[in-house]
Structure 1
């Protein structure tokens, strides 16, 4: 089960409306209003693209041969690149999914290099028997919010409200984003944008800086074990994708941000022992740094995230003594983002180079055991 972390704001009136729908009830169209339509936020743009893809996949399942092909793949694979598989389908499914992929990449600030992000998976293992017996599945999009109900579509285009907390007995395919692929591309964008805005950031594919490479080695802080809190999360969402923003003052006295991917942190309530290097102290002026752990949950726009963080941190000057940066990072994220993404997981203030042992997160959502670790140049 993926971890679920509290938002800074609660669910709005939209969630309250969805609760009023009984589970399994067929949705009806809402009356049109005269209110102007606001520009889509990254979250709504991603959700809209995924919903459009889910509708298209559901409609394509009316073709019995294609439906059987998808069923075979879904029963034998945890997930499938549905855009690639759609090349075997009739009609406009392939072009519809390609358009949805482009819209999602644009909303997340990733650009065309991200490639196909949409994936299809069976919603829950409890649905396998019904799917294998030939029941025509519904298709739902894995939304980026925490609504208690989600919409699933059948092959005739009808919409059904289903409980997001309890898997239905009817099999459901979930159209989701490959969060691991999106996060990898997003962290590249984050590094690029932070550098463009004057915040030094090391190449995340290498721990070695030119100065460190020329020396005998450098000291780091290594995560030997980590555990995130046990919180209930909707079945429709897949594994978490976690990353940490390590912040501090660089050797030039300017604030720097180093994103660190933590792809193994899939489930809550599980102790992971990655022996992963979190902080490379050769990049920092002081022997102190901060860490803000976040979750990629679908709609994060990495270019906007980098700009927001840069605008906040560039106003902080080196006063000759270390200043914690966690609050500045959190305050930089626009309030409306907290209702969807990026999810704030936890934060660790003033990690010291000499820290050796367990450090609890400031919000109590997790802990890390860290140790000093020397990386030899030879």
Structure 2
């Protein structure tokens, strides 16, 4: 699920699209068995994924290893491929470990995040051919929803350009990143870096849990101390067509407002359950902890995490803009400031803007539709007791 504005397609891309249409969505170009050209992806993450895909494709010439990988992929949705190679392909494992290291560094993650590269089957329809022993190709996950082609490699090193919308009949493994793992680690880095830039209040009267117990009424006089929150009882994003290589979405929301000290604060909220468009989820997740905010109003900007995100750069970009905003004694919406902080490249191959909610109020109770019309949330006030 990706939600960035459409990219520009040049003459070459248009011609490729025409060839794809005439070829029925199958192989556009099957190069001779020569070394693949160097990756053309702009980001270090994409380059590392591309190199890993080529190495993996070449390794599948080994029939024993190929059978080992096939069993693992058929048994699991996503396979941590570096760990798999560590037990069955000692020559490949160091190359995959190096790719993992490059990816973690490019994303600004701490060294302890562990392996990130995963391998999965492109579509469920490919399972039969894979089970029957057809040698799979290895593709790199499409980094752009507007991409017309997907690059895949075979075990001889040849490059094949596949239709991004119509999967081939041949089984294809997709090299990707464990998005949930990367985002969880990235949220930790983001919180740490935002704190360093002063975008978290010095005074915090409570920290909101990710999920809460069933709804209770407002606290009575005898109730223990606590704090008011806004929690999401349901959330849904619009359905969007995207390349068949894309895996589950990784969604997070930046909640912004003025902290108790009068300075702008940003609270990242991970939403790991929000995998698919067109599905209504009921997370009972706390979105805003009002004890952290000066006013009873806050904004929320929902983003989708992509492979190329560097969380340290994200925090720096946000801080560069939001630190210039001062408290004028009345609430100022901050959605535009957050969006202005995003580098131009993030509207193409990196984090994608999903939707935004202006002036969420502590008293909001009901459906709130996003300003972009791409998402809707049902929210309610919820009091979290502290014992």
Q: TM-score, with normalisation over the residues of structure 1? A: 0.90
Pairwise CA distance, 1:85: 0.3
What's the CA shift string for 1:174-206, capped at 9, x where partnerless? 110000000001111111111111111699x94
Farther off after superposition, 173-182 or 335-344: 335-344
Pairwise CA distance, 1:337: 1.8
For residue 373 of structure 1, what is the aligned residue in structure 2? 382
Taking the aligned partners of 1:241 and 1:155, their CA distance within structure 2 comes to 31
1:70 aligns with 2:69: yes
SS in 2 for 1:312: helix
For the 8 Å contact 2:4–2:353, the answer to whether it is kept is yes
For residue 323 of structure 2, what is the aligned residue in structure 1? 314
What's the CA shift string for 1:115-145, capped at 9, x where partnerless? 1000000110000000000000000111322
What's the CA shift string for 1:85-113, capped at 9, x where partnerless? 01134463111101111111111111312
2:7 to 10, 21, 28: 10
Pairwise CA distance, 1:335: 0.9
For residue 164 of structure 1, what is the aligned residue in structure 2? 164
1:348 aligns with 2:345: no
For residue 26 of structure 1, what is the aligned residue in structure 2? 30
For the 8 Å contact 2:57–2:157, the answer to whether it is kept is yes
Taking the aligned partners of 2:227 and 2:53, their CA distance within structure 1 comes to 49
SS in 1 for 2:94: helix
SS in 2 for 1:69: helix
Equivalent positions of 1:74-85 (< 5 A) are 74-85=73-84
For residue 360 of structure 1, what is the aligned residue in structure 2? 369
SS in 2 for 1:151: strand
For residue 96 of structure 2, what is the aligned residue in structure 1? 97
For residue 231 of structure 1, what is the aligned residue in structure 2? 240
For residue 287 of structure 1, what is the aligned residue in structure 2? 296
Taking the aligned partners of 1:222 and 1:377, their CA distance within structure 2 comes to 17
Taking the aligned partners of 2:19 and 2:271, their CA distance within structure 1 comes to 38
For the 8 Å contact 1:191–1:201, the answer to whether it is kept is no
How many aligned residue pairs are there? 361
For the 8 Å contact 1:220–1:373, the answer to whether it is kept is yes
For residue 267 of structure 1, what is the aligned residue in structure 2? 276
Farther off after superposition, 136-145 or 267-276: 136-145
Q: TM-score, with normalisation over the residues of structure 2? A: 0.88
For residue 138 of structure 1, what is the aligned residue in structure 2? 137
Taking the aligned partners of 1:368 and 1:224, their CA distance within structure 2 comes to 8
Taking the aligned partners of 2:235 and 2:300, their CA distance within structure 1 comes to 14
SS in 1 for 2:143: coil
For the 8 Å contact 1:11–1:339, the answer to whether it is kept is no
SS in 1 for 2:134: coil
For residue 330 of structure 1, what is the aligned residue in structure 2? 339
Taking the aligned partners of 1:145 and 1:15, their CA distance within structure 2 comes to 13
Taking the aligned partners of 2:150 and 2:122, their CA distance within structure 1 comes to 12
